Structure 1
Amino acid sequence: MSSSSKYIRQPIVSVLGHVDHGKTSFLDYIRGTTVVARESGAITQHIGATEVPIDAIYKVCGDLLKDKKFTLPGLLFIDTPGHHAFTTLRTRGGSLSDLAVLIVDINEGFKPQTYESLRILKQYKTPFIVAANKIDAISGWKTSKDIAKTRIEKQRVNVKTIFEEKLYEMIGTISENKLNSDLYFNISDFRKTIGIVPISAKTGEGIPELLMILVGLAQRFLEDKLHIESGPGKGSVLEVKEEVGLGKTIDAIVYNGTIKSNDKIVIGTKDDPVVTRIKALLKPKPLDEIRDPRERFDNVNEVHAACGVKISSPDLENVIPGAPIRVAKGNLEEVIAEVKKQTKIDFELDEQGILIKADTIGSLEALIKESRDKGIKIRKVDIGNISKRDIIEADASLHPLNKLIFAFNVKILPDAKEELSNADITIFNEDVIYTIMENYDEWIEKKKAMLERERRQEFTHPGMLKFLPEYVFRVSHPAVFGVRIIGGRIKTGIRLMKEDGKVLGSIKGIQSENKSIEEAIQGQEVAISIEGVTVGRQLKGGDILYTEIPASDAKKLRDMDVLNLDEKDVLNKIFEIKRKTDKFWGM
């Protein structure tokens, strides 16, 4: 292949969906089917990917592709299913995946990871189709080799009804996410409507149609993007792995050009890119040829996009998943600058905010976006496990709501665990961003309520109460009588005043249903005791009483957002009373 020649590479396809909805079974079925079709184009197992040649697709699809010819060499499926691998394999401004399959168990519908996958596909603007899996599990479903439309029509009426109910529920859920969808055979323009293909990864129903649509979409809409040059290779790190006899290696997906053994390559790290030279390019041996677990790989001289390959090189310790890989051919400084730019997370940090840790660049970007969409301020982001320093930094935050770490798919290091036992911080460490956000919503609500309670303790709060003359239990020393809280709240220890501003005295105790309580709120009827008051003299039927608030507290309460509307109304009435005798009160 000459250095300037162009060719069409296979589209890279990711498989996403919720756990146990059949992502792995789907990939296993495709591998199994294409192995059977060896005589029409053998399957090629890559590192981290499975290549399905176009000849194998012709064989599997049979009459579906009769008389159709494609220039694509096939499809390259990423072996690691899920949105995590999808976000790891990134290029500047998007995903490395050209197409995606969103697997949904038709019987269970959308689950947390399905929603997450859908949001990520929308974020990256990746074309995708929905595989409505496990149709064979619908009660009474009859498996056949007919095309989907005929297969559905042939089902018994009650089975067809169940199928349609589940399908419409799925279409409705997708519609709630501002996307149109329908059964693939009802669609005339796949750019405007998401195709749904009913499949069974167990029986293989629908998988030929799914492969047909993937190839058709790629050929029609992605051909220009798939025309690449065979010059210096470009790739993305899928995983960093320790291998016996090799040390640190990287599993990479090559999406452009050619990578050769002994090439000088530049790879992204958390800091500056590393420049190294390839010692070995490795591809897996066919399963039936593996005799020794230490000899699982074959050395190859070069690889061409699109493919998955293991790279053995020195100095890979700080390489991160999702980092770009570039072959440098006499333009080293230029390549280093390009890799550095692509590895950089491009967004502005806040002076105060939470910390975010993730295992890859892509997942970090996804977590940042979700946090930003919620208006969460972010002070620091980083790739890697949670360290002692992270705990100390989070604990040093000035605001209690910022003493928080969002962590995606990372570990808490031993010294960090020790530091955590003495720190007042919260960590949400999950492998689903959706779950982190759900946990955050629940936590922030409780935390704000707790902080509000704590802030309330610092001030005398506005309260308005009506004396109930029919409930006088003691006239004086102390006076004990019933009141109804009309607005705000009262607490033991606070002073009460009348509408003319005259102070009555302090509340010694509050009782409700013969039990002592510390606080009473709007709507409650309680008994209170006050020293220095005589019922009938200072206090008469129909009197309205207010909490007597120090001017400094009143000013702070007006400036702070800790009162509800009802409490604000009571505070305004207290201001009116006080300013009758002091027009600058509370200023």
Structure 2
Amino acid sequence: PFVVALNKIDKISGWQKTNHVGRKRIESQPSRAREIFDEKVYEIIGTLFDEGFKAELYYNITDFQRTLSIVPISSKTGEGIPELLMTVVGLAQRFLEQQLHIEKGPAKGTVLEVKEEIGLGTTIDTIIYNGVLTINDTIVVGTKDEPVVTTIKALLKPKPLDEIRDPRERFDSVEEVHAACGIKISSPNLENVVPGAPLRAVKDNLEEVIEEVRKQTKIEFELDEDGIIIKADTIGSLEALIKESRDKGIAIRKADIGNVSKRDIIEADATQDPLNKVIFAFNVKVLPEAQEELQGKNIAVFREDVIYTIMEKYDEWLEKTKEALEKARREEYVHPGMIRILPEYIFRVSNPAIVGVRVLAGRIREGITLMREDGRLVGKIRGIQSQNKPLEEAKQGEEVAISIDGVTVGRQIKGGDILYTDIPARDAKKLREMDVLTIDERDVLEKIYEIKRKTDKFWGI
């Protein structure tokens, strides 16, 4: 049997967290929230049916062998998690009992955490999920580099709290452990072991076990010449974060296990692309020297303990940063703009002329020279105002008042005239090459090219 975890029920509009379980949790919701929930569930049931699966909410199922169980949950609020665990455990006990067996050979396990313990040095907290592990066994454990081969000095289980008298005597030593169990291992040369790494006990097949651990520890992916930096706490979380990043088309120049170090900050700052000055830090710390190095540097560090939160915050940052970069790039060049002088809004005819205009396309800014449709220059914009407030620029569709130096209304310009921004040839050429113009700006740029090339066939080339 399969179980489908239907996550993010807390995102439903109007959803209210309750202490009810199963069907009662849904029935206790406001009517609109129930309607949305039902719509989403039936949509998912329909999608699964199209793929050849019959599915239903777990509390409506009578035959779990023929129907997929759907358990509504929220990983954020914790709603539905007990029911999900209950369903999985119940189905496993009911249908998988005959398939469950434990081998009695050399132990296989996974490292959960690497810790420094008083009087013991570096230790590893490990889950043994198969086989038997005994004191003095030779084990192979995955590291950042090559697997380490070492001999167990002690197998330790924590004492009950009421028996602890001295912090250095928090553990009981045992001679042997059987799957499945958690155990602390004390052994030499564990400093470079990484959480999530495989652990294997060795009998007479050392080289074979080393190769097996090497393959399981090695993360197969290609680094890019330029890109972001990823740091994570375990091999599994690092692989997951790499996959999410690749799915979004994010280039990765470095991916490693461990805390964010000063070297990571320096490497991130060295990249030329501001969109790559990024560090994803999943469930790890930013070391003090890295924090100090980070001061004054334009580096974005996304440090979270949920991968999706990192990706969501990155997306928000990326959008804002792109907008800021585009604005900065725009300010380097004179941009195309086309305006129409509104005849009913002539406020002053000269020194400077002040007129109301509508921006027909593109944009205008302070300090920009204007020209007529015949290519003749008519003056420079001194200022832009809207409702008596000064503006740096005005965009398509806006109606504003502008003051123009060096022009007299009724002579060089008049109400109803169409004027264009006067763009230097090098700016026009660069803007054609860059992908920063909107559709209306590109249209205006082409009109400016037509005007300019009436007198200079090679303008803007």
User: Per the shorter chain, which TM-score range?
Assistant: 0.7 to 0.9
**Cα deviation code 1:442-472 (max 9, x no counterpart):** 1111111111110111010010000123222
1:497 counterpart = 2:371: yes
Counterpart CA distance in 1 for 2:271 and 2:401 is 43
1:583 aligns with 2:449: no
Tell me, yes or no, if structure 1 residue 533 matches structure 2 residue 411: no
Greater Cα offset, 318-327 or 497-506: 497-506
After TM superposition, the score normalised by the length of structure 2 is 0.85
Task: Name which of 57, 64, 78 aligns with 1:182.
Answer: 57
How far apart in 1 are the matches of 2:275 and 2:111? 35
Query: Partners in 1 of 2:131 and 2:356 — Cα distance?
Result: 85
SS in 2 for 1:566: helix
CA offset at residue 275 of structure 1? 1.4
Q: Give yes or no for contact 2:3–2:69 (8 Å, CA) kept in 1.
A: no
Structure 2 unaligned regions, length at least 5: 49-54
Q: 1:351: how far off? A: 1.3
What pairs with 1:297-446 in structure 2 (closer than 5 Å)?
297-446=171-320
Give the 3-state SS of the residue equivalent to 1:557 in structure 2: helix
- Partner of 1:355, secondary structure, is strand
Q: Cα distance, 1:294 vs. partner?
A: 4.4
Quote how far apart the aligned CAs of 1:416 are.
0.9
Distance 1:175 1:329, change over 3 A: farther
Q: Could you tell me whether the CA contact under 8 Å between 1:197 and 1:209 is conserved in 2?
A: no
Task: Provide the rounded CA distance (Å) in 1 between the counterparts of 2:11 and 2:113.
Answer: 27
Q: Which residue of 2 aligns with 1:162?
A: 28
Superposed displacement of residue 228, structure 1: 5.6
1:246 to 96, 117, 120: 120
Query: Which position in structure 2 is the counterpart of 1:280?
Result: 154
1:193 to 68, 81, 95: 68
Q: Which amino acid aligns with 2:387?
A: E
* Aligned equivalent of 1:121: none
CA distance in 1, matches of 2:267, 2:297: 10
Q: Which moved more, 1:510-519 or 1:247-256?
A: 510-519
Q: 1:513 aligns with which of 387, 390, 399?
A: 387
Residue 451 of structure 1 aligns to a residue whose secondary structure is helix
Q: Which residue does 2:436 correspond to in 1?
A: 562
User: In structure 2, the residue corresponding to 1:188 is in which secondary structure?
Assistant: coil
Distance apart, 1:160 and its partner CA: 8.4
CA contact (8 A) 1:110 1:173 kept: no
1:486 alignment partner, SS class: strand
The residue type paired with residue 214 of structure 1 is A
**Whole-Å separation in 2 of the counterparts to 1:191 and 1:397:** 55
> How far apart in 1 are the matches of 2:228 and 2:146?
25
Aligned to 1:213: 91
- Where 2:96 maps in the other structure, the secondary structure is helix
Are residues 251 and 101 of structure 1, via their aligned partners in 2, closer, same or farther at CA, if it must alter by over 3 Å?
A: farther
Larger deviation: 166-175 or 498-507? Answer: 166-175
Describe the SS at the equivalent of 1:330: coil
CA distance in 2, matches of 1:376, 1:246: 42
Following superposition, the deviation at residue 437 of structure 1 comes to 1.4
Structure 2 Cα separation of the partners of residues 426 and 411 of structure 1: 15
C-alpha deviations, 1:468-520, integer Å up to 9, x for none? 23222232333222211111110111111111222222222223223332211
- For 1:65-144, what aligned pairs fall within 5 Å after superposition? 109-110=9-10, 137-138=19-20
Give SS of 1:282's match.
strand
Give the match for residue 15 of structure 1: none
Q: Which moved more, 1:395-404 or 1:533-542?
A: 533-542
Deviation at 1:313, TM superposition (A): 0.6
| Structure 1: gaps of 5 or more residues | 1-97, 113-133, 142-147
CA change 1:447–1:176 in 2 (3 A) is farther
Moved more, 300-309 or 401-410: 300-309
SS at match of 1:370: helix
**Cα distance in 2 for residues equivalent to 1:344 and 1:490:** 56
Q: 1:387 offset after TM fit, Å?
A: 0.7
Farther-moved stretch of structure 1 (204-213 vs 567-576): 204-213
CA contact (8 A) 2:156 2:184 kept: yes
Q: Distance in 2 between matches of 1:462 and 1:160?
A: 57
**Cα pair 2:3 2:88 within 8 Å, conserved:** no
* Equivalence for 2:52: none
In 1: Cα distance, 2:313 partner to 2:344 partner: 50
> Matched residue pairs, number?
443
CA distance in structure 1 between the aligned counterparts of 2:290 and 2:27, rounded to whole angstroms: 55
Shift of 1:323: 0.7
Whether contact under 8 Å (1:496, 1:545) holds in the other structure is yes
Q: What residue in structure 2 maps to residue 48 of structure 1?
A: none
The 1-side partners of 2:271 and 2:120 are apart by 43
> Which residue of structure 2 lines up, in the alignment, with residue 259 of structure 1?
133
Matched to 1:581, the amino acid is T
Residue 475 of structure 1 corresponds to 349
SS at match of 2:272: coil
* RMSD of equivalent CA atoms: 3.5
**Conservation of the 8 A alpha-carbon contact between 1:387 and 1:413:** yes
Q: Partner residue of 2:446?
A: 572
Contact 2:144 2:193 in 1 (8 A): yes
**Partner AA of 1:304 in structure 2:** H
Q: Paired residue for 1:20?
A: none
Alpha carbons of structure 1 residues 175 and 259: separation in structure 2 relative to 1, 3 Å: farther
Higher relative contact order (Cα pairs below 8 Å, separated by 6+ residues): 1
The structural deviation recorded for 1:399 is 0.8
How far apart, CA to CA, are the structure 2 residues paired with 1:209 and 1:297? 35
CA-CA distance at 1:340 after TM superposition: 2.2
Cα 1:102–1:263, aligned 2, differ >3 Å: closer, same or farther?
farther
Look up the SS of the partner of 2:173 in the other structure: strand
Q: Is the 8 A contact 2:140 2:200 kept in 1?
A: yes
Separation in 2 of the partners of 1:480 and 1:308? 81
Tell me the TM-score normalized by structure 1.
0.68
For 1:441 and 1:309, how far apart are their aligned partners in 2?
40
Contact 2:5 2:70 in 1 (8 A): no
Q: 1:275 to 1:523 in 2, by over 3 A?
A: same
- Is residue 184–residue 197 contact of structure 1 (8 Å, CA) maintained in 2? no
- Give the 3 Å change call, closer, same or farther, for CA 446–213 of structure 1 in structure 2: same
SS of equivalent to 1:506: strand
